[in-house]
Amino acid sequence: MPGRMNRDQIHAFLDSRPGWAILTTLSADGLPHTVPLGYYRLGDEIVMGVRDGTAKVANIERDSRASVLLESGSTMSDIRGVMLQGHARVHRAPDEVLHYAREGARARGVPEAELPTEARAGAVYIRVTPERAISWDYGAGGD
């Protein structure tokens, strides 16, 4: 059995940017729609910048339920992952887009003097607020 991560360990794992975040939303017919996206963590939330008008944006605006999955490792001894389940919201107001763009740049280590000063045309941000976090860490051993 894999070990579980506590909140601080989950945050550290997410901040280590182990790969793409896999976002799953629900399409109009109820089937899952799953895509890889770049992300950053803001508090307990996951933020992802995307183009407006995409299926994932339409899905969230119709049904806010979403999950985000991140996993790393290649063998049973080092696989770790987190699945966050909750609700997503699309932010498209220019001041919100600029805010999230600046926060994302900060998360990547961009110096303050080089942060974006204008919202990028056509960009929106998806913010996922988790209600549940499920984690696994095969390197930690079982309970």
Tens-place pLDDT, residues 40-67:
999 999 999 999 999 999 999 999 999 9
Q: Flag whether pLDDT at 143 surpasses 60.
A: no
Q: What is the pTM for the complete model shown?
A: 0.91
DSSP string, 7-39: HHHHHHHHHT--S-EEEEEE-TTS-EEEEEE--
Distance from the Cα of residue 3 to its chain's centroid: 22
Q: Is the Cβ–Cβ distance between 66 and 86 less than 8 Å?
A: yes
Burial degree of 46 (CB within 10 A; 0-12, 13-18, 19+): buried
- State mean pLDDT over 105-113: 92
Residue 3: what pLDDT?
Answer: 85
Query: Is the separation of the CB atoms in 133 and 10 below 8 Å?
Result: yes
- What pLDDT shows up at residue 1? 67
Which amino acid, one-letter code, is at 114?
E
pLDDT band at 111 (very low <50, low <70, confident <90, very high): very high
pLDDT of residue 67: 98
Average per-residue pLDDT for the chain: 93
Residue 46 near residue 128 (C-beta atoms within 8 A): yes
